[in-house]
Amino acid sequence: MTSANSKNNKLKKYFGYSLPVLLMVLFLYLAFKDVDFNQVFSIFQQLSIGWFILFILSFLTSHFFRALRWKVILKSTKPAASILNLFGATMIGYGVNSVIPRLGELYRGLFAGKWENISRPVVLGTIVVERILDVLVLGISVLVSVLIYQGDLYSELLWLRSTVIVGFVGIFFIILILVLVVQLKEKFYSFIITLTGKFSKTIAEKLAYIFEMLIDGFSTVKGLKNYLSIISYSILIMLNYGLSAQLGFYVLGLENSFDVSYGMAWIVMTISAFGIIIPTPGGIGTFHFIAISVLVGLFFFTEEAASAYAILTHTVSTLLFIVSMFFFMGYINYRREKIGLQKENFYSVIKGGKVD
């Protein structure tokens, strides 16, 4: 029985590791199977250094706004949290996500918790709060895309309506559960844990930790001023994402051949975001497939121009995440060492002297 369980666990792990890679390969094939890469390379030769620098600055600004929003969420727990540490942890998280899907969210919280001496349940709980907020904001942004598109976006993208509906229903139930968890802590918490414990003590213990984390995370957000700040930063993040998407076209000079506008870039940005949600390493393949499909199907780009745009924006974003990850880890550790504090790495934040 033990041997069978061991084999099943190994199969699950193998499947869990291999599925994202298989999805990546499949979507890369679907994205580029009809593309003439000689034309793609000729488009890359039109790259503008000036627009490229602006693209990078806009990209980094978006994530700096994320760090500022995180600081507001953490305000009641750590009012003096360093924006450098939060920005650094944010970029580390995205850097890890570029290689291993979703693991970056954990490391983002672990580094911030270590650097700011915040308990793990609290800091990880705030990341859950942010992710729920991100999904809600993305859903609203997609609805904006539906309104500004000159046509019926739901008819053009048959999967979009059902995805949005499922997303909002899911968010509704998640928020409902969170309200019950936060407002009826003892009663709801005890009922769920007791019920689950009848089937599996292990699952009950994990649920107990998750509920504690959620309660701690949501309890950090207090006051109308903070709520308004969080909403404002969320809007700024999305507006800046749209700007980055538009600048990507200018980097390659595509505005000279196609109708490029902020509204068009907004639609491309919001729909392509679904490619990042699918768990492939760094959204490779899935982002390219959706971005190319939108540009070709909705805005009449050539396959080659759409491919050049998708490759450029995704590759530069990924490289910026990875370079920023190592830069911030090295720089913050250097500053910590100068004042006698311990340096942190991917191993130490998990194993060494955890903050509870």
Mean pLDDT of the chain: 87
Q: How far apart, in whole angstroms, are the C-alpha atoms of residue 335 and residue 330?
A: 9
End-to-end CA distance of the chain: 36
Q: How far apart, in whole angstroms, are the C-alpha atoms of residue 193 and residue 173?
A: 19
- For the chain, the structural domain boundaries read 24-350
Asked if residue 302 lies in contact with residue 292, where contact means CB atoms within 8 angstroms, the answer is: no
Question: DSSP letters along 327-350, please?
Answer: HHHHHHHHHHHHTTPPP--TTHHH
Task: Please write the tens of the pLDDT for every residue from 302-340.
Answer: 999 999 999 999 999 999 999 999 999 999 999 999 999
Question: DSSP letters along 61-118, please?
Answer: HHHHHHHHHHHHHTTTT-TT--HHHHHHHHHHHHHHHTTSTTHHHHHHHHHHHHHHT-
Residue 208 exposure: Cα atoms within 13 Å on the Cβ side: 14
Q: How confident is the model at residue 253 (pLDDT cuts 50, 70, 90)?
A: very high
Q: How far apart, in whole angstroms, are the C-alpha atoms of residue 64 and residue 53?
A: 16
Q: How far apart, in whole angstroms, are the C-alpha atoms of residue 252 and residue 25?
A: 26
More confident residue, 353 or 116: 116
Judge residue 208's burial from the number of C-beta atoms within 10 Å of its C-beta, 0-12 exposed, 13-18 middle, 19 or more buried.
middle
Per-residue pLDDT, averaged over 178-185, amounts to 65
pTM: predicted TM-score of the whole model, two decimal places: 0.87
**Confidence (pLDDT) at 215:** 67
